[in-house]
């Protein structure tokens, strides 16, 4: 089974691509890192309890205020009130909050990885030829070597990002939009790194037009991806788990080596400046 990593940048259309890939004719299962991160801290989960135990005593507003509309003291599911995310954000972000942030990351990140692995395994057992790993910070978070193919959703010009971002979030000023785009790794550099993985191991969806053009671009890219993962290969891996494990290990080592070579070349280029 192919692990298809999906990433992009703010306002490039990654969520739209994810939606298209989950629908006919592709019908691919999506493992959404952002959704999983919310799921693993819902009331009743181990992650939720760890956060409450650690931050609750010193953060009075850690949980949303109990009202009849949200199920009162025990919440709608009887497992507790949901986390007050803005309050938790104020607690762990900002100057001098490194230790709190490390504690929160130490709770959330392992739980997210465990749940993502579980969903990936289910997709494999169901016979899917590929599963999409929707990870906004895929390169930055260490998921890169796991993916047999990475798909970056990109736009050719920063002005396109700016326009779409301001249309989506109308409250943003032009300066706010520029700051948000500038705060992230330039998506054109992500595309360049993606393509350095080689044919079919790295593909770019250029989303400069409307949704109809985007669908055509996805069709073009997925034709390339499917050539590297034909249906018969997916069934062979499903019926022969040892071969699947061997193939997965080889893919991981190969992609790790490509990643290391890229990083080495980048350091050399910066040293010349």
Residue 74 has a pLDDT of 64
Positive or negative, the CA dihedral 108, 197, 178, 35 is: negative
**Which superfamily is assigned to 34-125 in CATH?**
P-loop containing nucleotide triphosphate hydrolases (3.40.50.300)
DSSP state of 66: P
Do the bridges between strand 30-32 and strand 2-7 make them parallel or antiparallel, or are there none, so unpaired? Answer: unpaired
* Tokens encoding 122: 């289910």
Residue among 109, 132, 148 nearest 15 (CA): 132
Residue 72 has a pLDDT of 61
What are 206's strand-pairing partners?
154
Query: What are the extents of the domains in the chain?
Result: 1-29+129-273, 34-125
CA pair distance 135, 7, nearest whole angstrom: 6
Identical fold at 1-29+129-273 and 34-125?
Answer: yes
Residue 58 has a pLDDT of 85
Pick the CATH number of 1-29+129-273 from 2.60.120.260, 3.30.930.10, 3.40.50.261, 3.40.50.300: 3.40.50.300
CA pair distance 17, 20, nearest whole angstrom: 5
CA pair distance 103, 122, nearest whole angstrom: 30
Write phi, then psi, for 108 (nearest 5 degrees): -80, -45
Residue ranges, the chain, pLDDT below 50: none
Residue 149 has a pLDDT of 95
CA pair distance 201, 255, nearest whole angstrom: 9
């Amino acid at each position: 089974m192919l692990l298809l990593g999906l990433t992009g940048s703010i306002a490039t259309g990654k969520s739209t691509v994810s939606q298209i890939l989950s629908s006919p004719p592709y019908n691919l299962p999506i493992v959404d890192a952002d959704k999983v991160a919310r799921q693993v801290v819902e009331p009743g989960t181990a992650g939720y309890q760890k956060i409450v135990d650690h931050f609750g005593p010193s953060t009075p507003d850690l949980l949303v205020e109990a009202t009849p509309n949200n199920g009162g003291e025990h919440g709608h599911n009887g497992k507790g009130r949901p986390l007050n995310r803005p309050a938790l954000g104020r607690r762990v972000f900002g100057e001098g909050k490194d230790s709190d942030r490390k504690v929160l990351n130490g709770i959330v990140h392992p739980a997210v990885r465990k749940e993502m692995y579980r969903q990936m395994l289910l997709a494999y057992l169901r016979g899917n030829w590929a599963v999409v790993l929707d990870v906004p910070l895929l390169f930055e978070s260490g998921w890169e070597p796991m993916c047999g193919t990475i798909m970056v959703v990109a736009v050719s010009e920063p002005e396109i990002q700016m326009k779409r971002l301001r249309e989506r979030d109308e409250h943003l000023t032009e300066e706010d939009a520029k700051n948000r785009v500038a705060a992230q790794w330039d998506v054109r550099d992500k595309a360049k790194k993606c393509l350095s993985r080689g044919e079919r191991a790295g593909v770019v969806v250029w989303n400069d037009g409307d949704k109809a053009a985007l669908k055509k671009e996805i069709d073009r890219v997925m034709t390339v991806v499917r050539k590297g993962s034909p249906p018969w290969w997916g069934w062979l891996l499903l019926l022969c788990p040892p071969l699947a494990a061997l193939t997965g290990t080889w893919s991981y080592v190969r992609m790790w080596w490509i990643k290391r070579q890229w990083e080495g070349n980048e350091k050399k280029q910066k040293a010349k400046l």
